[in-house]
Amino acid sequence: MSARQASDNDNHELPGGGKRGVFISYSSSDDEPPPGPRKGEGFVSHLYAQLAWELQNLGLPKEELWLASKHLTSSDQYIEVLAEEIAKSDILLAILSNGYVNSPWCREEVSVFARRLEAMPDHKGQRRIFRVDKQEVAENELPTALRHVNSVRFYEKDPERGYTREFYRRGQIVRKKPYEDAILQLAHQIHTRLRELRQGRIRPADPRKAEETREFARLALARPQAGMARSAEGRAVFLAKPAFDLMESYSRLAHELSVRGFKVVPDPEKDLPRLGAEALEIVRKALAEAELSIHLLGEGRGFQPDGLELGIAPLQLAEAAAEAGRRPGFHRLIWAPKIIPGAEESGAERDPLEILTRYGPALASDEVDGDTATRFNDFVVQRLAARKPAAPTAALSSRAPLVYVTAAPADQALALAVAKQLTESGIKALLVPSDTGFALAGRADHLAFCWGAANEEAVAEALDRLDTPQWRAARPGGKIWLLAGPPESESKKLACELDSFGTADAVVTAPGPGWHEALVRRLLVPAS
pLDDT in tens, the chain (528 residues): 333 333 333 334 444 444 678 999 998 888 888 776 666 788 999 999 999 999 999 988 877 898 887 877 644 466 677 778 888 888 999 999 988 888 877 888 888 888 777 767 665 667 899 999 999 888 888 888 888 888 999 999 877 777 788 999 888 899 999 999 999 999 999 999 888 887 755 344 455 555 555 555 555 555 555 444 445 566 899 999 999 889 888 988 887 788 777 889 999 888 999 998 889 989 999 998 999 999 999 988 999 998 888 899 999 999 999 888 888 789 999 999 988 876 655 557 889 999 998 888 888 889 999 988 877 887 888 888 777 655 554 444 445 678 888 888 888 888 888 888 877 777 778 887 666 666 677 778 889 998 999 999 989 988 988 888 777 777 777 889 898 888 888 899 888 888 889 899 888 887 665 565 656 655 544 433
| Residue 123 pLDDT | 57
Domain presence at residue 471: yes
Pairing of strands 168-169, 172-173: antiparallel
189, burial (CB in 10 Å: exposed 0-12, middle 13-18, buried 19+): middle
Taking the C-alpha atoms of residue 68 and residue 75, their distance in angstroms, rounded to an integer, is 13
Domain presence at residue 427: yes
CATH number of the domain where residue 366 is located:
3.40.50.450
For residue 250, the one-letter residue type is Y
Query: In 3D, which of 368, 389, 364 has the Cα closest to residue 379?
Result: 368
Helix (H, G, I), strand (E, B), or coil: what is residue 374? helix
Query: In 3D, which of 501, 503, 502, 496 has the Cα closest to residue 519?
Result: 496
CATH number of the domain where residue 202 is located:
3.40.50.10140
Query: In 3D, which of 494, 481, 486, 464 has the Cα closest to residue 522?
Result: 481
Is residue 60 within 8 Å of residue 37, measured between CB atoms? no
The answer on 289 and 389 residing in a single domain is yes
66, burial (CB in 10 Å: exposed 0-12, middle 13-18, buried 19+): buried
The answer on 389 and 260 residing in a single domain is yes
The answer on 454 and 390 residing in a single domain is no
Taking the C-alpha atoms of residue 429 and residue 78, their distance in angstroms, rounded to an integer, is 46
**By residue range, what is the domain housing residue 292?**
233-395
209, burial (CB in 10 Å: exposed 0-12, middle 13-18, buried 19+): middle
| Residue 242 pLDDT | 93
At which of 344, 373, 395 does a domain end?
Answer: 395
Q: For the chain, what is the domain count? A: 3
User: How many CA atoms within 13 Å lie on the side-chain side of 154?
Assistant: 25
What residue ranges in 204-317 does DSSP mark as E strands?
A: 236-239, 263-265, 293-296
CA dihedral 386, 388, 394, 399 (to 10 degrees): -100
Domain presence at residue 70: yes
The answer on 162 and 208 residing in a single domain is yes
